[in-house]
Structure 1
Amino acid sequence: MKRLWQQLLSIPLLVLGLSTLAQAQDPDDVIRDAVESLTQRIDAERERMSRDPAYTRMVVTEELENLVDFRRITRLVMGEHFDAASRDQRNAFLERFRASLVQTYAAGVTMYTGQQIQVLPMGEGDVRGNRARVQMEFTTDSGRVVPIAYTLFQSDDQWRVDNVIVNGLNLGRVFRAQFEQAMAQYNGDIDQVIANWSAEVEVEGANPAEAVEEATGGA
């Protein structure tokens, strides 16, 4: 089960792709182009990525940097504690969150070995102002179809990802609940929460259909 979830939770990293994004792209094209670009890079560099974890982490960092809105995610995950935190604490958590996410899931990137990834056509209501959702299906080696939904926020004419829902597991909500639990554990000491933060997720989602339906609501 842990290996399955490591693979499923690495899928979003596989498609949060390269920084060759045209500003005028529709949100589904952003994800679709990222799928093609990064899976080709994995196929081309699989041997090096498999034997060099540091290089794999560097690749994952490069791929996420220009598409994922880490500053927006930091605010969403910290929730009501964001306003109480100092600028230094906010920046420290952003860096810790990013590094932890890369560290946790970089090992899963090379699990992609040609499995089918299909970005679904966008439907009515998938874009609402500066918010959008893009739905995707990933077929595992056993033939299981895993639904994935990305939520994106448009700023300066560029769509950037701010949440992912994998098989009903809303990662934004999971991380926010994790932050709340850590604040309680460390008696409200934000510095301790940051120092001990880990992005590991080992729980299984509930109802994929309900989660996807809620995707445009953000984290």
Structure 2
Amino acid sequence: MKKFFLIPLFAALLSFAGAAFAQTNAGGVDASSPDVMIKTVTNQVLDTIRADKSIRSGDINRITEVVNKQILPYTDFRRTTQLAMGRAWRQATPEQQDQMVEQFKMLLIRTYAGALSQFRDQQVQFKPFRAAPTDTDVVVRSAVINNGQPVELDYRLYKTPQGWRVYDLNVAGAWLIQAYQQQFAQKINESGVSGLIQFLTERNQQLAAGKQPT
């Protein structure tokens, strides 16, 4: 089985993307424009990461607090989990769906918590945004300049009555949902939805105990 976790850079940038949305309310960012929203909160979050030592040190309690209270309202992580599970999502009970969302979320939080300390002086360059006024699913493209090297960082958003919501992220050509689809399917084929939930739960327990999953 392929390694179940994303590379540290991917994980760190995922946290970077999520943390950005924690600023949306405080900064009064207009969520009706996907590119403006991403650009504005990106500038804010770089300052936040540099100023918050607890985030940079990978404080899991602080990061979890930010995710639960401030990030999730501006993302659709349930949609992310549903797409990552594919057809198996419909096979899961409502309780299992809730468990999957929570365990998958915690997996990503615990995976990227330690990687946040890598952020220092990275800069972000945005590419021209191309979308029709009638589009309801768009991609905002950018690149993080790290030690002079650009790393692709794209956000996929869809339009809701409450504004735009991020549900997928691409780093260096690897989309989050696609990266997990095959791995989730393999685990479900082996032991069902309950087996996948158990697997994620055990991995989260290992990470909480400071152990590196194999």
Give the TM-score taking structure 2 as reference length.
0.80
Q: Does 1:26 align with 2:33?
A: yes
CA contact (8 A) 1:119 1:135 kept: yes
CA contact (8 A) 1:61 1:102 kept: no
Q: SS in structure 2 opposite 1:196?
A: helix
Q: Does 1:80 align with 2:83?
A: no
Aligned residues: 194
**Alpha-carbon displacement from aligned partner over 1:109-154 (angstroms, at most 9, x marks no partner):** 23110111122230256x762111100101112x211112111011
Q: Find 2:175's aligned residue among 165, 170, 185.
A: 170
Give the aligned residue type for 2:140: V
Q: Does 1:70 align with 2:68?
A: no
> Which has a greater percent of helix?
2
**Alpha-carbon displacement from aligned partner over 1:73-123 (angstroms, at most 9, x marks no partner):** 121011111111111111110111111111111222231101111222302
Over the matched positions of the two proteins, sequence identity in percent amounts to 24
Within 5 Å, give how 1:1-219 maps onto structure 2.
Answer: 5-16=7-18, 17=20, 18=22, 19-20=24-25, 22-46=29-53, 49-50=56-57, 52-124=59-131, 129-141=135-147, 143-186=148-191, 189-197=192-200
Of 50-59 and 62-71, the range deviating more from structure 2: 50-59
User: Displacement of 1:164 after TM fit?
Assistant: 1.0
Q: SS in structure 1 opposite 2:52?
A: helix
Q: Distance in 2 between matches of 1:72 and 1:138?
A: 26
Question: Can you give the 5+ residue segments of structure 1 that lack an aligned partner in the other structure?
Answer: 201-219
Q: Distance in 2 between matches of 1:48 and 1:136?
A: 23
- CA RMSD for the aligned pairs? 2.6
Q: SS in structure 1 opposite 2:87?
A: helix
User: Displacement of 1:31 after TM fit?
Assistant: 1.1
CA contact (8 A) 2:56 2:118 kept: no
Of 47-56 and 97-106, the range deviating more from structure 2: 47-56
- Evaluate the alpha carbon distance shift between residue 53 and residue 94 of structure 1 in structure 2; reply closer, same or farther with a 3 A threshold: closer
CA contact (8 A) 2:14 2:112 kept: no
Q: SS in structure 2 opposite 1:37?
A: helix
Q: Distance in 2 between matches of 1:32 and 1:191?
A: 39
Question: Can you give the 5+ residue segments of structure 2 that lack an aligned partner in the other structure?
Answer: 208-214
Q: Distance in 2 between matches of 1:82 and 1:89?
A: 9
